[in-house]
Structures are given as C-alpha cells and as structure tokens.
Structure 1
C-alpha cells in the first residue's frame, strides 16, 4: 500500500484505527488496563451487591472452614479462628493484577472509613511472587492498607485462584460475601450492609 492509499484509508477509517490503537495500549500496558477498569467501575456497571451468602455456603463458619493464617510485615500472625466477634474483610490481590489495581481506591476509601472500628478487620492478602512487590506498589500509590501474606494454605472456601477475590465474614464467621473480580467497595449501600453486620 503506497503512501497516498494509506493516507486515504486512514481518512476513511480513522475511528477504526483509533479504536485499534486504544485497544492495543490497553492490552499491553497494565496502567492503561487499570485506568480503563476504573472507568468501568465508576459507571456503576460493576456495582457490588452484598447478599447474605450464608445459605449458599451452607452456613459454614470459621470453625468449620480450615484455619487460615496470615502474617503482617512485623511478623505477627493473625488467624481466622481468633477473629470471631468481628466483621472481616478479606481481599486477595497482587500488584501485577489490573482488576486488583482498579478496585484498590475503593478499598482504601472503605478502609479509611472503618480502620478505627475495633470490630472490623482488614485482611488485604498479597499474593505477589516477589515479597517486596506488594509493598512497593502500596507505597508508590500512597495506600495505607495493611499488607499481609499467607502463612498457611488458603482454604478453597475463601480463594480458588482468581484475582481479585473478596470475602466478607460476619461476627459468627459465616461467609456473607464471596466475590471474584473487581468491584466498588466505596458505595453507601455496601457500608450499610457492613453496619448491619456490625449491629448483629
């Protein structure tokens, strides 16, 4: 195709060329993917509905699910067995995962709202292969969420391999939310569900 024909093609098909270039950037760049996914979240298309999942999980509580332990950056161990009486927000993520990155601003807002509530526990569990990757990402983005890593096998009731995965446990340890994929955790409707669980 000579220059004149190429020019003519672009004049007629500029929107197709632009869309192709846009999609190529999104496919190649993790940051571009993250930006695009955040735009999708902001439209409300990905609104999260916190439903009572206890029936679907057959009312399983922490005691019936294998104990899961995580370790914080100071080496302290936290066990799900010790968290009864608290509402637990558990998010499995990795720094290389665009959907994880896309939902992190909403998780940070949720954390900022409840971080001083002693009855709400945040287990943001990093699954990066490189130990420093998660911390570097949080620092770069100025997130203040706690960084934890698995200190035992992760029960399949919580995580089966898809990132991000989010689980909310009520005070009895029952699974009330199990969500795979990105979501917006900064909605008032979500907070109301959390507040309702806190009041139970």
Structure 2
C-alpha cells in the first residue's frame, strides 16, 4: 500500500511540475498595490516581461502601444517590469508612454513561474486562460506573425477589428 501511495504522490507531483504557467497570480500595480491577473479572465491576454535595461524592449513597446490601440478592450496587453526597484522603470515608461497596463514583479516571483529564457519574453493566452504561444525576444520582422496569432484569438469569439 505504501508503494501505491508513493507512486500516486509522485504522479501527482509530476503533473503539477508539468503544468503550464497561467494567469492565477498577483503582481504589483504602479502604486505597489496587489493586482490579480485573474481580473482578465475571459479576455485574450498578451503578457510581456521586460526590464529598463532591455534593448529589444525599446522596440516592443511602440508595437504593443499600437496593438493595444487597434484592439482596444478585445485584448489585454500587460507588460510586467522585472527591475528590482520599480523607479528604474520610470524613465523608460516616461519615454514610451504605454497605453497598456504596466505591472511590477520586483522579486521575480511570476518570472520564475514562467521560466524566462530572455528579455523580453511574451506569453499569449486565449479567453479561457490557456497558454497558446510564447516568444523570447522581440523581432520587428516577426511582428506580423505575432499579430496573426493575436488576431486569430481575438476573432475566435466573433469580434473582428480592422
């Protein structure tokens, strides 16, 4: 019986270890207050991890601004800053003036759950909260490919944007 329980426990733990990261987390908003990602349930979410020192992030922010503008409420663009001191992100934010939500993960808890391999790293979730695709880095020549994925998810519910 002990062997059976041990085997069952190992399977349970292994299944949990293989689970994809999701939007069941809490990060900080600009005021240091908790911000639950579950508030975006039922929406297509483009989750982007960035830092003030990240060169490719300087290219992705204007693109995300445009993406957010074009899709409006049909898409949540959420950029999570990983600088240990959120003040480090302030000049970057002032320069790019994001029209999308900025969150903060100064201790990197959420970043560890997503096992980031580079900066920026982005994760696209469908309306059911399922992880659909991931991208490491930002390449302007691939931006249209990213948009095709996003537009497919947005239009899956019958909502179409020009």
Check whether TM > 0.5. yes
Give, in angstroms, the shift of residue 85 of structure 1: 1.0
Counting only pairs closer than 5 Å after superposition, residues 62-141 of structure 1 correspond to structure 2 as 62=22, 67-114=24-71, 116-117=72-73, 119-141=74-96
Give SS of 2:101's match: coil
Flag the structure with higher strand content.
2
Counterpart position of 1:148? 103
Give SS of 1:147's match: strand
CA spacing shift, 1:159–1:108, aligned 2, 3 Å: farther
Counterpart position of 1:3? none
CA contact (8 A) 2:64 2:77 kept: no
Which is greater in Rg?
Answer: 1
Give, in angstroms, the shift of residue 157 of structure 1: 5.4
- 4+ runs deviating over 6 angstroms: none
Structure 2: 5+ residue runs without aligned partners?
1-17, 158-162
Q: TM-score, normalised by structure 1?
A: 0.57
Give SS of 1:98's match: coil
CA contact (8 A) 1:134 1:147 kept: no
| Cα root mean square deviation, aligned | 2.8
Counterpart position of 1:163? 119
CA spacing shift, 1:191–1:129, aligned 2, 3 Å: same
CA spacing shift, 1:192–1:79, aligned 2, 3 Å: same
Structure 1: 5+ residue runs without aligned partners?
1-57
Q: TM-score, normalised by structure 2?
A: 0.68
CA contact (8 A) 1:59 1:174 kept: no
Give, in angstroms, the shift of residue 100 of structure 1: 1.5
Deviations 1:75-99 (A, max 9, x none): 4433233433111110000111112
What is the aligned length?
Answer: 137
Counterpart position of 1:31? none
CA contact (8 A) 2:80 2:102 kept: yes
CA contact (8 A) 1:159 1:165 kept: no
CA spacing shift, 1:61–1:126, aligned 2, 3 Å: closer
